[in-house]
Amino acid sequence: MEKQEQIMMEARKISRCFPVAQGEDFYALKDVSLQIPEKKLTILRGRSGSGKTTLMNILGALDKPTDGQIFFDGQDITGWEEDACGLMRRKKVGFVFQSVALIPMMTAYENVEYALRLSGYEGDRKERVEECLRMVGLSARMNHMPEELSGGEQQRVAIARAIAHKPRVIFADEPTAELDSGTGLQVVKIFQKLVQEEEATVVMTTHDVGFMEVGDKVFELEDGEIISER
């Protein structure tokens, strides 16, 4: 069963070190290797400082490893230029950040539509935007500015934006961290729905042990190393 599973991404022995004062290096990731399965909800769990966000940024080509290799959809993207990564991201990747990261001068609708503009979405943009906002339950408030929305609503807009252009992978960094548990659960439910209905691959980080059950695959990180895999 596990063998038949398609691999979306793979990290091979990656390390990420940040130079700290006094010449000492701080390793956020140490020799991490893992595989992210396609069309599954993968959870990276760990306490804050465990390296999970760094790992996710590297997987999503937002950051580069100091050592090791990254494969995305079968391609080695380790040495890619920043702009090439950008072009890949706009087509194949969607991001949801821990702190709400909507573009402040755009309405909910425009935020979602902007992702479609960027990815060069071929179809009817209006229809797709409305569909995505409906999916996250925000059709009624789509012409509001981000600042007029609550935290949970903003997070759901961010999700709608992340999925709008039908990316291969959606990365969600602590999407529930700033939400109350009810809203958090709602958000996670959306991800589950995405995996099932849109056949998306979702990678989500969380420090919350409660969400471990919902993941198809769970990696547990501590001090830059994977300590368990399930």
Q: Which stretch binds other proteins (CB under 8 A): 68-76, 78-86, 194-202, 218-226?
A: 78-86
User: CA-CA distance, 81 to 121, in Å (whole number)?
Assistant: 23
Specify whether the CB–CB gap between 36 and 12 falls below 8 A. no
Q: Which is nearer to other proteins, 40 or 161 (CB)?
A: 161
Phi, psi dihedrals of residue 44, rounded to the nearest 5°: -105, 115
* H/E segment holding residue 116: helix 108-119
Measured CA to CA, the distance from residue 221 to residue 29 in angstroms comes to 9
- Residue 88 as a binder of other proteins (CB under 8 A): the answer is yes
**How far apart are CB 216 and other proteins at their closest, in Å?**
24
C-beta of 34 vs 164, nearer to other proteins? 164
- One-letter amino acid at 42 equals T
- Decide whether 7 or 103 has the Cβ nearer to other proteins: 103
> What are the tokens at 85?
């990564």
H/E element holding 26? strand 25-37
* Interface pick for other proteins out of 55, 62, 170, 200 (rule CB under 8 A): 62
Hunting for tokens 């539509």 — which residue is that?
113
**Residue 33 touches other proteins, criterion: CB under 8 A:** no
Q: Which is nearer to other proteins, 145 or 214 (CB)?
A: 145
Q: Is 72 in the site for other proteins (CB under 8 A)?
A: no
- How much of the chain is helix, strand and coil, in % rounded to 5? 40, 30, 35
Q: Under the criterion CB under 8 A, does residue 82 sit at the interface with other proteins?
A: yes
* CA–CA separation, 160 and 147 (whole Å): 17
Min CB(93)–other proteins separation in Å: 7
Q: Is 223 in the site for other proteins (CB under 8 A)?
A: no
Stretch that binds other proteins, among 34-42, 113-121, 132-140, 206-214 (CB under 8 A): 113-121
- Residues in touch with other proteins (CB under 8 A): 57, 60, 62-63, 82-83, 86-91, 93, 95, 97-99, 101-106, 110, 114-115, 117-119, 147-148, 161
